[in-house]
Structure 1
Amino acid sequence: MKRKHQFAVGKIVILFLYILIGIISPVKSSSRQFQKNKTHLASSNASSPRLIGDSEICMVLGNTIGIYSAGGNPEDVYEWKITNSKGEEIYNRSGGEQFETIKVLFTEIGEYTVFLKIRRGTESNFYQDLMNVKVQRGPKLALLPDYLLCGENPVVLTALDPSTPNIGNYTITWKDVNGNALGTGNNITASIAGFYLVEMYLKNPGGSQTCTINGSTFVGPALDFQITKSASKICDGGSIKISTDTPLSGEWYIRKMPSGENVSLGNAYGIDLSTMELDGHGFYEVSFSVPSIDFPDCPSLRKTEFEIVPAPQFEIQILKHPDACFIDDGSFQVKANSNLTSISIPELNFYQKNISKGQIITFKDLKAKVYLVNIEGSGCNTSQLVEMKSENLSDQSAADKLNLTISQVNETCVVNGVIPGKVSLEFGESIANGKYNILSSNRGTVKSGAIPVNGKFEVELNSGNYLIEIIIDGCTYPTESITILDQPQINVSIPSNIIICESFLLIPETADQLLFTLTAPSGKVESSKTGEGFTLTEKGNYSLLAEPIDANSSLCAKKLNFETTLLSPFSYTPVLLEEKCFDPIRYRAELEGISIDKVNLRWLDSNGVIVGRSREFYPPSIGHFSLVISPIGSGFCPVEPVGFEVVTPITTVPMDLDLGKTCSDPEAVIISLSTNLDEVVQTEWIFYDESNNRQEKVAFDDHFDIQINTSGTYEVVAYNKLGCEIGRNFTFVEVSPQYTVRDLEDTYPVCSRKNTISPIDPGEFAKYAWYFADQLVSTQRLFKPDKIGDYQLVVTTEDGCELEDSFRTYVVCNYQLVYPNAMVLGNPEKDFRVLMSEGITEAELFVLNRQGELIYHSYSDDIPVETPILKWDGKFNGSYVPSGGYVIVLMLRNPLYGIEEKQTSSLLVLM
C-alpha cells in the first residue's frame, strides 16, 4: 500500500517529572553558541573528595536553597541523591565536572539526607558519603523595603514579626551603609534619611551562626530633593542664600543650635539670611518642609546647618592727626585682639600676614586722608575707615570751610522696581583743582572723580552709609557723612532656574496681594495675581514683574529674572535581570536620554506605596508594581508610571514525551517533547541501552522531535536561557517491525447470486474506509463488494499513518447455460447437450423418467467455454428409451466462489 507522509497523532505519556533543582558549574569552551550556566558556587580542586554543604537551613519566604560540593578531580563522575524523611527522592542527578557543586531548592521543612557517590575511572564506588540536612522554619520578617519619613516624626524599624517563635534567641544588629553600628534588638528608631542594614541570626549549640538573614531598608521623605546653600560659614555682617535643588515652594524654619526654638520664616522657594537678623555667633539649623501631592499627610522635610563666625577682633587708635594739609606727620595703630590672617591698607600699599593676638602695628608719617583697613581672620574679612584730619581744619566741617552745599535723595520707586538715591554737591564757586572720594565702611572707595570746574555735580548711590572726602589743591578737608535710605520692595520668591519637562506651573510665593506680569522668551506677556500661576513651556530667559495691587502701598515693585531649561526627551523601562540560576528576582531601571545621576527613582507597589528608590529593585512579593522616574530639579514633572508584573520564576516546566511512527519510515519512532517553548531554549538527549550504558546524543541537542531506530531508554533535559535545568523526562522505546499489510489483488469477483465468496480482509488497522466511485461505502475491516467497478481502500494505523490501495471488481455469477428442451433419437445433430459460459467449474446431469427412475447420469469438471458437454444420445442400457417426456436435473458448481445451483426442466424425446 502507498504511504501518506505525515506524523503520527497517537500520544503516550510515559513519565511526568518536574525539576525544581538547578545545576551550576564552570563554563567550558565549546563551539556551541549556547552554554549552560557553569559557574562554581563552591569549588574544591583537591583530588580527595569531601562532601560539604549546608546542614541547617532556614526557610523564610516559602523556599530555601542548599549548596553542596564534592571536590575531587575534573574527570570524576558524581551521583547525587536527596531524600526526605519519608524516603522519597526529591533530587537524583549524575554527571561529570558540572555536577561537582549543586544547588538544591527545598520547598518544605523537615529532615533530608544528601547521598553522594563518586566514580573515578572504572572504580564505581571510589567515594561515598551522606549528610543529614535539617530545613527549619525561619522567622517571620517584618522589615519593609521603604519607610516614609514624615516631617520631624521618626519611624520605628522592626526586623522580625513580634509573633516569631523564640524571637529572643535571635541576635539582631543594625548598621548604616558605612558599617557603623546603630543599635541592636528587634526595633530601632530612625530619624535620618538613608539606608539601614540589619543582620539577624541564631547560634547553634556549637556556637556558630546559623539561619543568618541580611536585610536592608530605606528611610526617606516622599519627595526627593536636597537643600543647597551658598556657604557653610558666614561672617558677621554677611549673608547666606539657602534654597532647594528642585523648584519647590514650602515653609522654611530656623533655630539656633543646640536648644533654640524653631522659628517660621514663611513659605518661599528659597531664603536670604543676614547676620543682622540673627542671634549672634554660633550654629544654626535651617529646615524646609513641603507637602507631597501623593502623600498629603506626610510632609517632606530636609535640614541643613550653617555657622556664623565672629569677625576678627582688632582695634584702631589714632595717635596723631597731621598738623596741616601738607605736613605728613599723622599716625595710627592697629592692635590685634585675636589672631589675624592678614592686614592690608590699599592707600599705603601695605600687606602683612599672620598677626598674633596682642600684636600692634603702627603707621606713621601719614598725610590727611581716609584710609581703609582690611582685616582677615577666622575665615572672615572686615574693614574699617580711618579718618586722618588736618589739625588746622579739624575744628570746622568741609562745608563751612568750602561753602559746600550737600543735598541727597533717597531710593525711590519706579514702575519696574527701585532707582538708586543720589547726592548733590555744590561749592558755590569754581574749583580749579579738586577731586572727591565717596567711601563705604565695608568697601572703601565706591565712587571718585574730579570736581567739575563749576563746582557742581551729583552721584548716584544705593542705600547705605557713606563718607565724602574732598581734596582741593592737594589738601584733604574734613569728611562729611551721609545716609541714603533704602526704599522697601515687595517680598516675592521664585526659583532662579527651572527645568521643564513638558510644562511647569510657576506660582510666585508671597504673603502680599500682588499683580504679576510675566514676559516669556518669545515676548509673550501674561498676567496673574497672588495665588495664581503661569504655565511655562518655553526655554530661555523670563522676567517677572511683581507690583502691589494697592496703589497706595509704600512698597516698590520688583522685577525678577529667571531662566528655564527644556529637558530633552527621555524614556525608561524596568528590565528583569536574569544572570544566574536561582538568583533573587531583580529589576533594573534602564534609561535612554538621561543619566541615572540626574533622576529620582520610585518603585511603587499596586497601592502606590514606595517600596524602592535605588536603580536596582528586589520586589518584596509577587504582584503588580510600577516605576516612576523624574529628573532631579524638575519639580513636579508629569511622568507616567511604567507598570510591570512580577510573576513567580519558572523553575520547572512540563516535560511530556509523545511516541509515534513516521509514516515514511515505518521502522522509525518519533519522540516528541511537549513543553513550554517560551522558556526552554536548549535540550539535551541521552540514550541508555539494555545494559544501562549511557550515550549522549549530541546530534539531537536543541531538538524537540527526534527520530530513532534503536530500542532503549531516551532521556531529555531542558535548559532555560541561563543554562539552568528546568525539566527532564525519559521513556522506554521499543522499535517495532515494519507494518504488515496484506496486499490487495488487482481484481476481485462479484457474484449477484447466492454465494460464499470470502470478504476482503486487508489486515489489522485502527481505521478502515472503503470507497466506491469516491463514495464511502464501509468502515468495517471485512468488506464484500457487490458492485462492478473501481474501489479504493484507506486504512489508518495505530500510529496515525494512512495507507491506501485500489482494486476493481468483475462478475463471476452471471454465467450462461444453454441446453435443448427436446431431442431426436438416432440423430447425432439433435441429441441432448449443454453449452456453458465462464464461471462454472463442475457440472452434473441427471435424466429421470416419469416414474422417477434415473436412466442417465453424467459428470464433468473440465468445462470448456461454449463447448458441448454432458451429451446424451437417448439410450438407456444400450437401447433407445421410449419417446415421451423426461425430467432433466442439472447441478452446477464453483467451489471457489461457493456456487452450487440446481436447475430442473423437462425434456421431450422424439423418434
Structure 2
Amino acid sequence: MKNAPDFLRLRIILVLFILFVECDRIFANEIEGSNNSKNLFVDPVLSGPDNLCVIFGSAIADFSGGGEPTTDVYDWVIINPSGGEHFTRNGGATFQNISVQFSQLGNYTVTLSVRRGNDIIYTASKNLSVIQGPQIVLQPDYLLCGSTPVVLTAINPTTPNISQYTFEWTNSAGDIVGSQNELSVQDEGYYFISLFLTNSSGGTDCQINGGTYVGQPRDFRLLINSNEVCMGEIVEIGLDTPIPGQWLIQKIGETELIDFGNAFSLSLDSEEDLFGSGNYRAVFRAQDSQYPNCVSEREIRFSVKNQAEFMYSNVVAASGCNMQDGGFLFTAQSDLDFLRINELSLLEADLSAGETRSFANLYPGIYVLETQLDGCNRTEVVIIPNNNPDPEMLFEVVEIGESCSETGKINGIIRVNLLNGPYTGEYRVVEASGAVFFTGAISNVSSFDVSVPGNNYAIEIISPSGCKLPENRILDIPVKEFVPFSIPEEVTICGAFDFVPVTEENLTFTLISPSGTVETKNAGEAFVLTQSGSYTLTGTSLDPSPEFCPRTIPFSVVNIAVPNFEPVLESEDCFGNKLYKAELFGVDPSTVSIRWYDENLKIVGRGEMWYPTAYGNFSLDVQPRGSSLCGFNPKPFEVKQPVFEVDVTLTSGLICGDGQFTTVTMDSDFEEVERIEWIFIAADGTQTNLTQFANEREIEAGEEGTYEAVVYNRIGCEIGRDLILVLKSYDETRPDIKPFYSICTESSYGEIVNPGIFESYEWFLNGEFISDEPTLNLRREGNYTLLVTNADGCVFESSFSTFEDCTFQAILTTGMNLSDVNKHFEVYVNDAVEKAQIWIHNRNGELIHFCENSEIQSRVAFCQWDGLVRGKEIPVGSYTVTLRIVSTRFGLEQKFIQNLIVFD
C-alpha cells in the first residue's frame, strides 16, 4: 500500500461516482438474490472492468466474485505486466468484492479462486488493460478573493488527448455551467465536474466525477432593511458579524462602482445618495488577518422604486381671513394611485399622468398634498397666502440653525415675533415634505420659539376664530452634522473583542460600559469588550474649530461561549475511505462556520462532514457565525493510514489418542485485531462456526479436520486468516515405568529408570523439574513425575515413587529332603540384588554345585537344586553354601556362608 494517499485521494474525488456505482451494484445484487431465492447457493462469477484509466498516478478497479459470502473464501491474484504479483488477498465476505489500486500501465491478469469448505468450486481469469488517463488537478477548496474570478481546472491542460474528453460542470443547483476543461467562477458555492471518453459503442470510458467548494475566507451575511424601497426612503445595509470594511454601490446597467467608504454598516438616502430609481448592488469587502492577500467580498441587491410625481402651480392668495377665493392648479406628472388633501376632505383615486385638477374657493392656510404610486408615498405642502389678515396676527420669523452640545447637538429654532404685541391663538408647523411636525398654543405672548431639527418647514398662525395666516415662504433651519463614525448596533463577541470605531476624522471616543466604567480612546485605538450589556459611545472632534457636533450612539454587546467541537471519525470502510464529522454537541451547523485545514493551514473542507484528501495531520476550527472570532485555535488530529492486512499463523500438534485434545495457537499483530472467528471444516467439507472460541487466541481441538481462524479489525473488516489441518497421532509407544523404585540414600545410589525412546523428557521430583535426560538415576526419596513427548508431539505422563532399601536380604534353604520336591534347595533375595552366585561344597571342599543369575526378580525363587550331582543323589550330611550377591546400582557386593543339611 505504498500509494495509499493517492488511493485515498482518488476515492474522495470519485466519491459520488463510486456511491452511484455501489448503489447500482447493490440494487442489482438484490434483484439477482430475489431471482435466485429458490437456489441453495449462488454460483461464483468473476466480474470487473476490461479497461481502466490511471488518474493521480493510480486508479481503482472494482472486482466482484459473486458466490455465497457467508461460506465462500475468495482467493484473488492479480499478475502485473512484468509477470509478478500485483495483488494477492484471500478471505471471506470482506473479499467478495475488492477495490484494487493500479499505477503501472499495461495488461494485467486477474484470477479468482473460490473455496467452499475444503473444495475449490470455482476458478476464473480475466484481462485488464490499464491505460494512462488524465491527471486531475481540481483542488478540494478554492478561495474566492474579492471580485477576481477563480479558474477551476479539471485535468492537466497538457493531457495528450484532451480534445477527446467531454466535460460537464454543474453548480449546487444542478445547473450546467460549463463544458470545457476550465471554468471561471465568481459565485460562491459547490461545483461538480463530470468528464469521460466516448467509446466505440457509444458508452463512456474513464468517467471521472469530482467536486470542489469556492468560498470566501470569512463567513458572514449581509443584512438589509428592505430589498425594495421607495425613492426618498432610507436603505440600511449591515452585516451579521462585527467586521468593518469597504462599501461600494453600483447601479445595475452602469459600469462604475461608487466607493462609500469604510464602515460596519451603510445608511443610504435613496433620493440624496443614489442615482435614481432602478436596481442596485451593494458590495462589501473585508480583509482577514489570516488571509491578508485575499479579500472577502459579498453583495446584496435591492431596488429603488419611483415615487409619485406631481407639481402644483398657479397659486392664488385668499383676499382675507374669511374669504374663500384662494386656489392652485395640481398636475399629475406620473400615474397616481390616489390624491388626498385632508384639509379639503378630498380623496381621489387613479389619476393618470398629465391629468390636472384645479382647486379654487380655498381659505388661506397650509394644505398637505398626499399621493401614492405603487405603494410609494409622496407628500408636499401648498401655501395659500392671506392677503388681508387681522392686524394683531401679523408676525415675522427668525430661523436659527442647529448647534452643538458636549455630547451631541441642539435643535434649531423657529422664532416667531408677533409684530403688534401679545397675542393668543395657535400655531402649526409642518415639514416641507408634508408631515405635521408640531402644533401648539400661543398664550398672550409677543414672541415664542419652536424647537425643531434642521429641515425645511411651513408655519401658520391660527386665530381663535379659525383664521389662518401662513408664512408665505418655506423656512430653512440649517442642519449641523454629527462627527462621522461607524459602529454596529449590536456586537456579538466571543470572549474578548478588540472594538475599533471606524472613522476617517480626528476624533476621540468615550465608552461607558454596562458597569459604568468610562474609558477614552483616540481614533484607531481599540476598546477591549468583554461584558454583555448596553454601552454608549460618544465621538468628539479633536479639531480646534470642529465642523461637526459630538455624537453619542448606544449599542449592545452579547458575549457568547466558545463553540464546543471535536473532529470525529464518523465512518470508514475496508478499503481505506474515511469520513470525518465536526461533532458540535447539539449546535445547529448553520449557526457556525466550519473549516478543515491541512498541516499548512490551507482550507481543505468547509462542511460538517469531510472526506480526507490524504493521510497526515489535519485540524478543525469552528467559529460562531454572526460573531467576532473566538480566537484561532484549531484542534489537530491525524488521519492515519489504515492497516489492510496482518499476518496470521496457526500452529498445532496432533491429537494424542481418543478423548484427547491438541492446542491450536494463533499468532498475529493483535494490536490491530478486534475480533477473532474460528471455523471447523470437516473432511466432507461441512463448515461449523466455533462460536464458543470467539476471540480466543488458542483453542483446544479434539476432532480431526481443518481449523481456520479469521481476524477482523475494529470496524469489522477481515484483515487476515489462516487454516491448519489437525490429525490424530497413531504412535502407541508409552513410557515403561514401574510404580516403585528403591534407593539407598546412605550410599547415594539408586535404581536407573529408562522409560524408552522418545523425542524429549521432563523429570520432576515433588513437582520440581530436575532433568531432561532420557534416563534418570534415582538418588532421593519422593514422588516422581515423567513427561515424555513422542515424534508426533504428543505428551504422556507417568508417576512413580521411591523407597529406601539399602540392605541385602537373602533366604537360602538350610535343610533339604531329596525325596520331597517341595523341600529342594532354592534362594530368595530382595530388590537390591541384581546378580547372585552360589557355590555348594562338600566336607572335602569339593564343589558339587554352582549357580548364578543376572536377571533376578525380587522375592522370586531362583537357583533351584534337587541334590543330584552327575545324576546321582548326594549323600546325607552337611554341606557348605556360599552366596555372593552384587548390586551395581548401589555399588555393593556381599558374601554369605551357611550350612546345608541333607536329609534322607
Whole-angstrom distance in 2 between the partners of 1:879 and 1:482: 183
Change (3 A) 1:391 1:889: same
Counterpart AA for 2:226: A
Q: 167-176 or 841-850, which moves further after superposition? A: 841-850
Q: State the partner residue of 1:553.
A: 546
Change (3 A) 1:656 1:562: farther
Q: Deviations over 1:68-90 (max 9, x none)?
A: 5869x999999897754669796
Deviation at 1:597, TM superposition (A): 1.0
Whole-angstrom distance in 2 between the partners of 1:356 and 1:569: 60
Whole-angstrom distance in 2 between the partners of 1:388 and 1:450: 22
Matching of residue 424 in structure 1 with residue 420 in structure 2 = no
Change (3 A) 1:75 1:215: closer
Structure 2 gap ranges (5+): 1-7, 9-24, 37-42, 813-826, 868-873, 900-904
Whole-angstrom distance in 1 between the partners of 2:352 and 2:669: 85
Match 1:490 to one of 473, 477, 483:
483
Aligned partners of 2:150 and 2:185 also within 8 Å: yes
Whole-angstrom distance in 2 between the partners of 1:574 and 1:309: 50
Q: State the partner residue of 2:291.
A: 295
Aligned partners of 2:839 and 2:847 also within 8 Å: no
Q: 357-366 or 492-501, which moves further after superposition? A: 357-366
Whole-angstrom distance in 1 between the partners of 2:758 and 2:859: 40
Change (3 A) 1:674 1:571: farther
Whole-angstrom distance in 1 between the partners of 2:748 and 2:721: 63
Change (3 A) 1:616 1:848: same
Cα-Cα RMSD: 4.9
Change (3 A) 1:431 1:52: farther
Deviation at 1:218, TM superposition (A): 1.5
Counterpart AA for 2:337: T
Q: State the partner residue of 1:3.
A: none
SS at match of 1:492: coil
Deviation at 1:249, TM superposition (A): 1.5
> Relative CO higher for 1 or 2, CA cutoff 8 Å, sep ≥ 6?
1
Whole-angstrom distance in 2 between the partners of 1:514 and 1:665: 103
Match 1:273 to one of 265, 268, 276:
268
Q: State the partner residue of 1:387.
A: 383
Aligned partners of 1:436 and 1:469 also within 8 Å: yes
Q: State the partner residue of 1:844.
A: 838
Q: State the partner residue of 2:704.
A: 711
Aligned partners of 2:693 and 2:699 also within 8 Å: no
Change (3 A) 1:844 1:900: farther
Q: State the partner residue of 2:450.
A: 459
Q: Deviations over 1:739-791 (max 9, x none)?
A: 975374443133688999543437636452444x8876433231112345565
Aligned partners of 2:655 and 2:727 also within 8 Å: no
SS at match of 1:296: strand
Q: 754-763 or 496-505, which moves further after superposition? A: 754-763
Matching of residue 609 in structure 1 with residue 602 in structure 2 = yes
Deviation at 1:430, TM superposition (A): 6.6
Change (3 A) 1:76 1:161: same
SS at match of 1:491: coil
Whole-angstrom distance in 2 between the partners of 1:664 and 1:451: 129
Q: State the partner residue of 1:213.
A: 208
Matching of residue 377 in structure 1 with residue 370 in structure 2 = no
Q: Deviations over 1:12-67 (max 9, x none)?
A: xxxxxxxx9xxxxxxxxxxxxxxxxx965644347489987544343435452425
Counterpart AA for 2:409: V
Deviation at 1:671, TM superposition (A): 3.5
Deviation at 1:464, TM superposition (A): 0.8
Whole-angstrom distance in 2 between the partners of 1:754 and 1:321: 156
Structure 1 gap ranges (5+): 1-19, 21-37, 820-833, 882-886
TM-score using structure 1 length: 0.78
SS at match of 1:297: strand
SS at match of 1:291: strand
Whole-angstrom distance in 2 between the partners of 1:404 and 1:520: 49
Whole-angstrom distance in 1 between the partners of 2:792 and 2:487: 83
SS at match of 2:324: coil
Change (3 A) 1:317 1:741: farther
Matching of residue 231 in structure 1 with residue 223 in structure 2 = no
Counterpart AA for 2:261: G
Matching of residue 347 in structure 1 with residue 338 in structure 2 = no
Q: Deviations over 1:101-128 (max 9, x none)?
A: 84544546654667899999xxx99x99
Whole-angstrom distance in 2 between the partners of 1:171 and 1:527: 65
SS at match of 1:511: coil
Whole-angstrom distance in 2 between the partners of 1:680 and 1:456: 100
Whole-angstrom distance in 2 between the partners of 1:189 and 1:663: 78
Q: State the partner residue of 2:404.
A: 413
Deviation at 1:313, TM superposition (A): 2.4
Q: State the partner residue of 2:536.
A: 543
Q: Deviations over 1:127-177 (max 9, x none)?
A: 999765444443321111111122333222111123545333322222222
Whole-angstrom distance in 1 between the partners of 2:160 and 2:776: 79
Change (3 A) 1:379 1:105: farther
Change (3 A) 1:295 1:87: closer
Change (3 A) 1:654 1:359: farther
Aligned partners of 1:80 and 1:92 also within 8 Å: yes
Aligned partners of 2:392 and 2:420 also within 8 Å: no
TM-score using structure 2 length: 0.79
Change (3 A) 1:191 1:797: farther
Q: State the partner residue of 1:634.
A: 627
Counterpart AA for 1:411: E
Counterpart AA for 2:262: N
SS at match of 1:207: coil
Whole-angstrom distance in 1 between the partners of 2:680 and 2:783: 49
Deviation at 1:660, TM superposition (A): 6.0
Matching of residue 474 in structure 1 with residue 466 in structure 2 = yes
Matching of residue 196 in structure 1 with residue 194 in structure 2 = no
Q: State the partner residue of 2:440.
A: 449
Aligned partners of 1:53 and 1:69 also within 8 Å: no
Change (3 A) 1:154 1:468: same
Counterpart AA for 1:474: G
Whole-angstrom distance in 2 between the partners of 1:501 and 1:798: 77
Whole-angstrom distance in 2 between the partners of 1:847 and 1:69: 98
Deviation at 1:615, TM superposition (A): 1.8
Change (3 A) 1:257 1:605: same
Match 1:764 to one of 755, 758, 769:
758
Change (3 A) 1:402 1:837: closer
SS at match of 2:777: coil
Q: 258-267 or 196-205, which moves further after superposition? A: 258-267
Aligned partners of 2:887 and 2:893 also within 8 Å: no
Aligned partners of 1:700 and 1:706 also within 8 Å: no
Deviation at 1:715, TM superposition (A): 3.0
1:676-687 matched pairs, under 5 angstroms:
684-687=677-680
Whole-angstrom distance in 1 between the partners of 2:713 and 2:649: 17
Deviation at 1:698, TM superposition (A): 6.0
Change (3 A) 1:624 1:99: closer
Change (3 A) 1:780 1:651: same
Aligned partners of 1:285 and 1:305 also within 8 Å: yes
Whole-angstrom distance in 1 between the partners of 2:859 and 2:316: 175
Deviation at 1:251, TM superposition (A): 2.5
Deviation at 1:370, TM superposition (A): 1.2
SS at match of 1:289: strand
Counterpart AA for 1:669: T
Match 2:555 to one of 552, 558, 562:
562
Aligned partners of 2:246 and 2:262 also within 8 Å: yes
Q: State the partner residue of 2:772.
A: 779
Whole-angstrom distance in 2 between the partners of 1:690 and 1:730: 14
Q: State the partner residue of 2:247.
A: 252
Whole-angstrom distance in 1 between the partners of 2:660 and 2:895: 56
Deviation at 1:417, TM superposition (A): 1.0
Provide the identity percentage: 29
Aligned partners of 1:322 and 1:367 also within 8 Å: yes
Matching of residue 179 in structure 1 with residue 174 in structure 2 = yes
Counterpart AA for 1:440: E
Q: 278-287 or 151-160, which moves further after superposition? A: 278-287
Deviation at 1:573, TM superposition (A): 1.7
Deviation at 1:229, TM superposition (A): 2.6
